[in-house]
Amino acid sequence: MYPCGLKPSFWADSEQFNTASAMFSNKIQVTEHLLFSKQKPASNHANQAKCLFAEIHLEFMNRLLSAIAFAAHKHRDQRRKDLVASPYINHLIGLANVLANEAGIEDERILIAAILHDTIEDTETTEQELIRDFGKEVADIVMEVSDDKSLSKAERKQLQIEHAATISRRAKVVKLADKICNLRDIANNPPADWTLERKQGYFDWAKSVVDALRGTHPALEHLFDEAYKLRP
């Protein structure tokens, strides 16, 4: 049995998924009305609000777990560059954890895009796949934070600095969290073959990117600054 008799919903096609955010917002507004309306009986309002909160939670959990499963499959043969070759999915889950549990981000589009943010750049995933399975808003965020792998590494890094200020706020939030996680990983569990100079160079380049993102999210920017203090 599901809470209040509510069955969790899953949007299997893009048209349904693209309406999810609007539905989520409307349910929040209705829930607030039920909780704080002066109409009686208040107990009925509270029960209805609890049912709506339960439905919202189940819907979001379905979508988030779908994104994790999708990313785990797409990155299944990839490992991080650390000494123990950690599964790549660890990085993606860690990034979403920073957003949700350290920065208090509740926007499901940002959290799902965080899980998927490397699929375009590092796997054979297409934009149309993301639109089909997760909706255009999520796909747009992922596209904004993806490098063009046809360019040289130096060009890609320079373009990240130049484009940082022009991307959407949601994309900026994902990029901030990505840089936080990368700095922490390099400081605490660095790639086995990276020299001190390369580690320092990454820290300084990441700071150049984040400096162009300043003013987006103070809490994330503070977390980045704390991570930067770990510079080797």
pLDDT tens digits in sequence order for the chain, 232 residues long: 333 433 334 333 444 444 444 444 454 454 454 445 545 445 665 676 677 667 777 888 999 999 999 999 999 999 999 999 999 999 999 999 999 999 999 999 999 999 999 999 999 999 999 999 999 999 999 999 999 999 999 999 999 999 999 999 999 999 999 999 999 999 999 998 999 999 999 999 999 999 999 999 999 999 999 999 999 9
Active-site entry in 102, 107, 122, 147:
122
Tell me which residue range forms the domain holding 59: 8-228
Place of tokens 């920065």: 103
**CA dihedral (1, 72, 59, 9) positive or negative:** negative
Instruction: Count other C-beta atoms under 10 Å from residue 115's C-beta.
Output: 27
- Whether the CB-CB separation of 123 and 35 falls below 8 Å is answered with no
pTM for the model: 0.80
CATH number at residue 120: 1.10.3210.10
1 part of a folded domain: no
83 part of a folded domain: yes
Residue 155 annotated as catalytic: no
Number of domains in the chain: 1
Distances (CA, A) of 154 to 99, 149, 150, 195: 28, 11, 12, 18
Active-site entry in 102, 107, 121, 147:
121
| Residue of 2, 3, 20 whose CA lies nearest to 11 | 20
Residue 118 annotated as catalytic: no
| Residue of 224, 120, 209, 113 whose CA lies nearest to 159 | 209
